[in-house]
Amino acid sequence: MDGSIGIGRVFGIPLKVHWSVPLLLVVLGYGLGRQVLPAWVPGRTGAAYAAAGLVGALVLLGSLVLHEGAHAVVARRSGVKVEDMTLWALGGVTRMGQPQTPGTMLAVSGSGPLTSLVLGGAFLGAGLGLRAGLGWGMAAALLAWLGSANLLLGVFNLLPAAPLDGGRVLQALLWRRSGDRARAEQVADQSGQVVGYVLIGLGVLSVLGGSSGGFWIALIGFFVAVSAGAERRRAALGGALHGLRVSDAMSAPVETGPDWLTAARFVDEVVARGHHSALPLVDVDGRPTGLVTLRRIAALPPAQRATTRVRDVALPLARCTTAAPGEPLTEALERAAEHGGSRLLVVDGGRLVGIVTGHDMARIVQRRALVGPADRADLSGRDSRVDPGDQAGRAGQAA
């Protein structure tokens, strides 16, 4: 997620914090210290309420980390690759690979809400026990609030709406019952859009009724609806590209630029004669070294362009998304999406043999939409702008 910074590791998994988390801390701490606790435990000082509000907000964030950590730990133990966890204003996100069985998906998806429900019960039980032993004080009220918040978090996440955990649970159950993963994902995404629109409506009605909390309900509903719509489009794209290899979508030959040229010479000799906003770079041996965009060159001060090599302002190959010609196209695109890229550099034997851009994807999706399912396999050798025999040879070598 853009705008996030790493702050360490939890359970051996990188943890990132989005810039919106401090805003969440302020909102939670202010609401708890200025509204909830004074109503529940009157007669304390403003400093006591503020301190308790801050502690409560921090502990709730810790609960969110445990929620996401449960997803990550169960996924990793099930053989699913986990990239990282990110906290942001509306909760948390764990980046991971796709579970390969409905049982794994069910376990991974259900572990987060289950953790929140267990934490909620523990906090609430501790608060009630403390109240019974010492009376209704600040600590008991804070524990009761944390328990209620975690229970609400667990129950809310179990709503049958992708991308919420409940949507994944629904998808896993439908997948197990029907054996059709794509159809199960489609139903979960559709449910997510419906639930999102319902939440938006409830939030608007709540705001019109004078409740400021309705704004957050509507905001969460908007996030759910938009995310579900995006996942629905991604699932449709995955279905359209099913069975294709990277070589079926790539453009070849590839227009490249020498990485040893200065930025000024690169603009005069390469950019001025080309038609692309991004160009792969190659070294003197013809091996790919990175990708440079016109935006990166334009950001270089004019006075430095005559002395700066274009490779020094390019995105290094290690940070580009590369793929082999015979790799499944959907897997390569998922990897590109994880790294925030929109282009695939196709490398075979250390040589750049093609590139996959957004234009290439639109072209192949449109062409596959024009033919029946029985004919789509025939497009594998005809969609790519390379020689079919050479393409088949490269795919065989990659396999």
The candidate with the shortest Cα–Cα distance to 151, out of 121, 130, 175, 174, is 121
Q: Residue 1 — very low, low, confident or very high, per pLDDT cuts 50/70/90?
A: low
Per-residue pLDDT, 2: 64
- The mean pLDDT value for 72-84 works out to 92
Determine what percent of the chain is predicted with pLDDT higher than 70.
90
Contacts of 212-217 with CB under 8 Å at 24 or more apart are none
pLDDT digits (tens, 9 = 90+) for 353-398: 988 888 888 787 777 667 655 444 444 444 433 333 333 333 333 3
The candidate with the shortest Cα–Cα distance to 313, out of 267, 269, 272, is 267
* The CATH number of domain 246-398, selected from 3.40.470.10, 3.40.50.300, 3.40.50.720, 3.10.580.10: 3.10.580.10
Q: What would the two tokens of residue 3 be?
A: 């705008």
| pLDDT reading at 174 higher than 90 | yes
**Residues annotated as catalytic (active site), given as ranges:** 68
- The mean pLDDT value for 52-65 works out to 94
| pLDDT reading at 201 higher than 60 | yes
Residue 46 to residue 38: CA distance in whole angstroms = 9
Q: Where are the domains of the chain?
A: 4-158, 246-398
Please tell me the pTM assigned to this model. 0.69
